[in-house]
Structure 1
Amino acid sequence: MSKLDENIAEELLEEEIGKIRHKRKFDSFLISTISILWALFQLALPKFLILDSVSTRAIHLTFATVLIFLSVPMIKRPLKKFKFLHEIDKIPLIDIIFAILSILAILYIIIDKEGIAKRAGMPNTNDYIMGITTIILILIAATRAIGPALPIIAMLISLYGFLGPNMPGIFAFRGVSLTKYLTQISLSTEGIFGIPLDVSANTVFLFVLLGALLDKIGAGQFFNDLSFALLGKYRGGPAKASVVSSGLSGLISGSSIANVVTTGTFTIPLMKKSGYPGKIAAATEVAASTNGQLMPPIMGAAAFIISEYLGVSYIEVVKAAIVPAFVSYIALFYITHLEALKLGIKGLPKADLPNFFKVLKNGWHYLIPLSVLIYELMIMRHSPKLSAFNAIIVLFAVTFVQELISAKKNNKTIVEGLKNGIFIITDGLIAGSRNMMGVALATAAAGIVVGVVSLGIGSMIVQIVEVLSNGNLFLLLFITAIASLILGMGLPTTATYIVMASITVPVILKLSAVYSFNPVAPVAAHLFCFYFGILADDTPPVGLAAYTAAAIAKSDPIETGIQGFIYDLRTAVIPFMFVFNPDLVLVGINNWPEGIFIFIMTSLGALAFTNFTQGWFIIKNKWYETILFAVATLILFYPKLINLLLHIDNIHRYVFYIFGLLVYGLIYFLQKIRIKKEVKIA
């Protein structure tokens, strides 16, 4: 990969994490200091600092907003006029003013906490001024952090709240007053300071920080090397290793762009070297990196928000998400195998691959913090934030031990080893805070949308969508999927999920209860919105992850995005299946054998769907084999469908699973026979 292509990919990543203004020493020092203070504040919350929820949320948001104004210019591309809007060499005066105003306005809810509580519903002049200022600053900061899409949606839905009485027909709404709007949005915990921001402040930050620290200590490279050592020698090995390494990176990263840059700079050139065209190599990395957000424990922060919305434990959300996440990756792994078959690609020579045992020996300690995290969550049943905190403390110890051992090997002093450990941890704290700026502003801005919807627009939206879908649940799901994809083109995954969940989940649940033969499980409805928000990361014409991978592969970004989206069809079909078949999200499944059986059958269904979309099994499909693959897919994903179509109630689903496996096996034998015939003719 050329230096220019690497710079393009790094530039896209720097824009996402706000690492733009770092040229002047003072500016870099100021931004780094605030980032470290924010990280230390968040680390103090689980064990050492006792604050009420409003104070925690407000301080968290203040740090994020100040960092955005100080580190990210208003416009990310230079203009001939109004150069101060794109000032990257220094922090302009206007952004310093914005940062100071943010501190005063956002912390006002803490400063005059008692007065605001006494005046509930009756704000005074100061409340009006600070409330409006807070909303304006949040919208400006969110525009810088995540782009204009969400702020525009927030402004439009706010405008709709005021103009509701003048709207025609079913769009009419009783409207809200400025007093009610400000009380709800900026002076209570129902808007900006609502549940999404609470999850960002109390849980997500620590998981993102853990991921950033693991990356700085070298865990990302370890996962990459481990994947190549295990899979590089097999057919299409580099692509298979890309899928596995991106999945493992997804454990510590909630960003598809960061995932592409971290793993793609190594995997994409190797895929091209082994014979994959640039477009295929880039699309494989995009699909793998995008799906990294499906992987617990972070899941793009959505797991924790779903947990809060549903009032269930985080473990319950992970339980629901685990089968679809792994099935999606298994299907992508299989896609790389089919593409290798089509292209006649072999594995990489052993000499080009890292030694598995050497990689494991040198990097096994990276698994210790992740093991602690899993132990804390699954065995000790501690809260997510306490589990992440304990894992981070263990990671600090691992970092120092690693650097002390490294210092000894390189004939350096203990002091030098300790210094290196401190530098790594400091860099991790800064990176964690930078990675969180967008998440914090996204949850705050999305809180405006949620707050307005809860003022009464929600029930009206239910009626509108019900009319548009005509009571058809499948049509409603299709509308929701398209809306999520469109929103997700301009929003981060977390914000897309929050907006769609607040608007469409109540409609899905209501319609399924009224019109459907099988009411949708609430967790399935939430995961449905989450999945399609993720898929927008490689949906043309935006798809920033596709642009990043294309820069590395030197391929066309639109073609890369289209190819990546074709690969992601196997992810797109899964949400439709688990909405209708709650077994896929393990609703009501409380024993390991049944859960494992469902996982195996769902995986086979995903493989059959992959054969259907790729037009290939062991050789190219005939048209009738493609139809049979579609039949096998439906049966293995949703065996109850045959019961419903044939009105059969007394046959167990296992019988239909067996029938689906027989159909899959039939296609295998048909293609085997065809291969033998072709060999004889040859």
Structure 2
Amino acid sequence: MRLSQATEEEYTENHQEEVLEKYDKESRLRVFDNKGLAWIVSLTAVFLSLYHLYTSYFGTPVTLQHRSLHVAVILILVFLLYPPFTQSKRNTLHWLDALFALMALSTTVYVFLEYEGIIERGGIPNSIDLIFGAILVLLVLEAARRVTGWGLPLLAVLFLLYGIFGREMAGLFRHRGYAWDEIVGFMYQTTEGVYSTAIGVSATYIFLFILFGAFLQKSGMGQFFNDLALAAAGQTKGGPAKVSVIASGFLGSINGAAVANVVTTGSFTIPLMKKIGYKKDFAGAVEASASVGGQILPPIMGAAAFIMAEILGIPYSQIALAALLPALLFYLGVITQIHLRASKEGLKGISKDNLPEVKKVMAERGHLLIPLLFLMYMLFFSGRTIIFSAFLTIIVTIVAAMLRKTTRMSFRDIYEALENGARTAIAVAVACAAVGLIVGIATLTGFGISLANGIVTLGGQNLLLTLMFTMTACIVLGMGLPSIPTYIITSTMAAPALVELGIEALVAHLFVFYFGIFANITPPVALASFAAAGISGGNQMRTGFTSMKLAIAGFIVPYLFVYNESLLLTNTTLGEGVLVTLSAVMGVVMLGAAAEGFFRIKIPIILRLLLAGSAILMMTPNLLYDAAALLLLLLFLGWCLSRPDFWRR
């Protein structure tokens, strides 16, 4: 197709890999010259995928054994695949890494062999327990450093030191202090440390949905989304930017990897956006904001919704419904600014001759929607468990792909999907294990409660101030971390502050989830925006701030649903839901116009501020505020209509 050829002329595959490796440490993998080593890695990854498929259907071993096996195999893959330093050779395996892999294996072998003894000792470790526990803690820290960078392991080390020396602190965060032996035993022998809920969710929901995404990719789902988005929106004003939003939103919901999504989809969409006239920084920002937003978009939400369901003990369907309207408002805000920017700069869409037809796209690959529709049925209507639903959906994906020759998967494709799924799951699993150290110390010392009290005290019992402090804490905690570990940390550290002020738990968790995710496009550490700038050739910081502007609805909507829970479509009637949706849609469009400073004509700064204020009023639950917002909107429209240049476009 001509579009893909144009893309290949501007950005080669090598450049795509270079950008991905620069901004996503998860992609800096070894490629062995030794075929024997390559097969060991491949078979280990496939074993892990088959193990999780088997246990999703037949049931898992006891919790501690299941989680320890998951962590151990993930650690083995880390030390086999990830070199210790950027300058390290990537075609050979150092003997020390082979030793680390064997040590990782020993930690789960010991749990399986000594399980009854561990249980009988009731959390009081003997000397051998402590040896294997210390090995596990150190291996998790080193694996996290290799996969995610220094930020997460350093945070974990700080928490471990806090657990030991907390008695030396003064004030709110002082605690009695714990010996190293107590901490190691807690981290290794219980389901509150490394083997906590975080790794439990990784070993069930997250792994299976990542595997599902790997099978979808093998079937050609990524190309299908791109072609469908092109066919639907490519010809409209600023078409390639809208294609980026649609394709990245769908893919981001499935894979939950913002940086990888930016590079995968952006290598196709960013050159197209530049080609029709969008500036470098804006083109990169569109892709970054759209990719990050996929993680707040149902049905999958990058698997975060399943973790939230596990933590809160509520049905997944309730979380997906609550997240739906805010996510759609976020994307409406992005598309509004894209459209207005195209109108302001006179940018056209792509010629119809260069676009696929919807009918042809659906005829060729429309059957790939069957797995997604089946998954939604299983999650919302079947009453079966999420794990079993994920297992069946993977099977349905393979069967559905067989319906046409162009998407049919060979045995080799299935094998590679099993391998790729395990490889992709490494980053999240390692981060969840490291987060287990942080959450474990927070649980052991009561740090989470102390931090929540500190935030509330700092906010002076004022909800708005508390929300602002919580938002800041979430963005700082989320900088440079994958979205799922970020959510687990922020839900433990920051969400309790909002709950303490009477906010419903689901609302509080969605609030911290939003801002933890948007850390990826918030300078100074905005990895998704930086990756997009690497593809577009734009300035990193300008791309980051432009991403924030495009995502402005995402920064405001969480505040609004805290004050107006009807935005989450919970505890509301159909009529109220319709009214809330309409007013929110109007508000987001007005907010987009204010952010872009254009509505057929350039809007002066005073009127932009007025329009932004009226947009926020429009999205509040107060009828008086709605009336005031409508009045301000009418005044604004009156001003527009009175301008001669308004009619010349």
What TM-score do the two structures reach when normalised by structure 1?
A: 0.89
Distance 2:165 2:625 in 1: 54
Cα offsets for 1:517-542 (capped at 9, x unmatched): xx312111111111111112122333
* Cα contact 1:247–1:295 (8 A) shared by 2: yes
Q: Within 5 Å, which residues of 2 pair with 1:426-465?
A: 426-455=415-444, 456-465=446-455
Q: Which residue of 1 aligns with 2:7?
A: none
Which of 471, 477, 480 is the equivalent residue of 2:467? 477
Q: Which residue of 2 aligns with 1:647?
A: none
Deviation at 1:676, TM superposition (A): 5.8
Deviation at 1:559, TM superposition (A): 2.1
Q: Which residue of 1 aligns with 2:6?
A: none
Q: Which residue of 1 aligns with 2:102?
A: 100
Q: Which residue of 1 aligns with 2:3?
A: none
Q: Which residue of 2 aligns with 1:516?
A: none
* Cα contact 2:296–2:514 (8 A) shared by 1: yes
Deviation at 1:656, TM superposition (A): 4.5
Distance 2:157 2:559 in 1: 31
Q: Within 5 Å, which residues of 2 pair with 1:99-248?
A: 99-248=101-250
SS in 2 for 1:619: coil
Q: Which residue of 1 aligns with 2:641?
A: 672
Distance 2:641 2:109 in 1: 70
The letter of the residue matching 1:71 is L
The letter of the residue matching 2:558 is P
* Cα contact 2:25–2:148 (8 A) shared by 1: no
Q: Within 5 Å, which residues of 2 pair with 1:215-364?
A: 215-364=217-366
- Mean CA deviation greater in 179-188 or 237-246: 179-188
Task: Tell whether 2:520 aligns with 1:537.
Answer: yes
The letter of the residue matching 1:627 is L
* Cα contact 1:35–1:434 (8 A) shared by 2: yes
Distance 1:349 1:165 in 2: 69
Distance 1:271 1:172 in 2: 54
SS in 1 for 2:642: helix
Distance 1:677 1:556 in 2: 33
Would the alpha carbon gap of residues 495 and 675 (structure 1) be closer, same or farther in structure 2, given more than 3 Å must change? farther
Deviation at 1:331, TM superposition (A): 0.9
Q: Which residue of 2 aligns with 1:414?
A: none
* Cα contact 2:212–2:393 (8 A) shared by 1: yes
Distance 2:646 2:579 in 1: 36
Which of 59, 62, 68 is the equivalent residue of 1:52? 62
Task: Tell whether 2:469 aligns with 1:500.
Answer: no
Deviation at 1:549, TM superposition (A): 1.7
Cα offsets for 1:378-437 (capped at 9, x unmatched): 1213222211111110111123343xx349xxxxxxxxx7xx521222221111111110
Cα offsets for 1:59-116 (capped at 9, x unmatched): 11112111111101112x21xxxxxxx2311121111110110111244333311111
Q: Which residue of 2 aligns with 1:622?
A: 604
Cα offsets for 1:656-676 (capped at 9, x unmatched): 545534533442332122146
* Cα contact 1:98–1:137 (8 A) shared by 2: yes
Which of 453, 456, 480 is the equivalent residue of 1:466? 456
* Cα contact 1:128–1:182 (8 A) shared by 2: yes
Deviation at 1:244, TM superposition (A): 0.9
Would the alpha carbon gap of residues 25 and 634 (structure 1) be closer, same or farther in structure 2, given more than 3 Å must change? same
Task: Tell whether 2:511 aligns with 1:528.
Answer: yes
Deviation at 1:2, TM superposition (A): 3.3
Which of 412, 419, 430 is the equivalent residue of 1:423? 412
* Cα contact 1:611–1:617 (8 A) shared by 2: yes
Q: Which residue of 1 aligns with 2:46?
A: 36
Deviation at 1:557, TM superposition (A): 2.2
* Cα contact 1:6–1:551 (8 A) shared by 2: no
Cα offsets for 1:195-222 (capped at 9, x unmatched): 1111111111111111111112111111
Task: Tell whether 2:616 aligns with 1:607.
Answer: no
Distance 1:528 1:481 in 2: 8
The letter of the residue matching 1:303 is A
The letter of the residue matching 1:433 is A
- Mean CA deviation greater in 12-21 or 213-222: 12-21
- Mean CA deviation greater in 209-218 or 99-108: 99-108
Q: Which residue of 2 aligns with 1:413?
A: none
Would the alpha carbon gap of residues 427 and 163 (structure 1) be closer, same or farther in structure 2, given more than 3 Å must change? same
Distance 1:9 1:580 in 2: 41
- Mean CA deviation greater in 526-535 or 662-671: 662-671
SS in 1 for 2:255: coil
Q: Which residue of 2 aligns with 1:663?
A: 632
CA RMSD of aligned residues (A): 2.1
Would the alpha carbon gap of residues 142 and 621 (structure 1) be closer, same or farther in structure 2, given more than 3 Å must change? same
Distance 2:209 2:172 in 1: 43
The letter of the residue matching 1:430 is E
- Mean CA deviation greater in 500-509 or 105-114: 105-114
The letter of the residue matching 1:674 is R
Q: Which residue of 1 aligns with 2:534?
A: 551
- Mean CA deviation greater in 332-341 or 3-12: 3-12
Task: Tell whether 2:565 aligns with 1:582.
Answer: yes
* Cα contact 1:163–1:175 (8 A) shared by 2: yes
Cα offsets for 1:456-494 (capped at 9, x unmatched): 223332333333333333222222222222222221111
Distance 2:518 2:415 in 1: 33
Distance 1:146 1:242 in 2: 26
Would the alpha carbon gap of residues 542 and 46 (structure 1) be closer, same or farther in structure 2, given more than 3 Å must change? same
Which of 4, 13, 19 is the equivalent residue of 1:9? 19
Q: Which residue of 2 aligns with 1:411?
A: none
* Cα contact 1:521–1:582 (8 A) shared by 2: no
Give the gaps of 5 or more residues in structure 1: 79-85, 408-416, 513-518, 641-652
SS in 2 for 1:47: helix
Task: Tell whether 2:548 aligns with 1:565.
Answer: yes
Task: Tell whether 2:596 aligns with 1:594.
Answer: no
Cα offsets for 1:603-633 (capped at 9, x unmatched): 2222222222222223222344323323322
* Cα contact 2:344–2:600 (8 A) shared by 1: no
Would the alpha carbon gap of residues 14 and 557 (structure 1) be closer, same or farther in structure 2, given more than 3 Å must change? closer
Distance 1:638 1:252 in 2: 31
Would the alpha carbon gap of residues 24 and 659 (structure 1) be closer, same or farther in structure 2, given more than 3 Å must change? farther
* Cα contact 2:253–2:296 (8 A) shared by 1: no
* Cα contact 2:130–2:185 (8 A) shared by 1: no
Distance 1:194 1:100 in 2: 23
Deviation at 1:55, TM superposition (A): 2.1
SS in 1 for 2:56: coil
- Mean CA deviation greater in 441-450 or 458-467: 458-467
Distance 1:323 1:677 in 2: 32
Task: Tell whether 2:460 aligns with 1:491.
Answer: no
SS in 2 for 1:252: helix
Deviation at 1:592, TM superposition (A): 4.3
* Cα contact 1:508–1:525 (8 A) shared by 2: yes
Distance 1:472 1:184 in 2: 37
The letter of the residue matching 1:429 is L
The letter of the residue matching 1:20 is R
Distance 2:457 2:254 in 1: 42
Deviation at 1:261, TM superposition (A): 2.1
SS in 2 for 1:229: helix
SS in 1 for 2:47: helix
* Cα contact 2:587–2:618 (8 A) shared by 1: yes
* Cα contact 2:289–2:550 (8 A) shared by 1: yes
SS in 2 for 1:541: coil
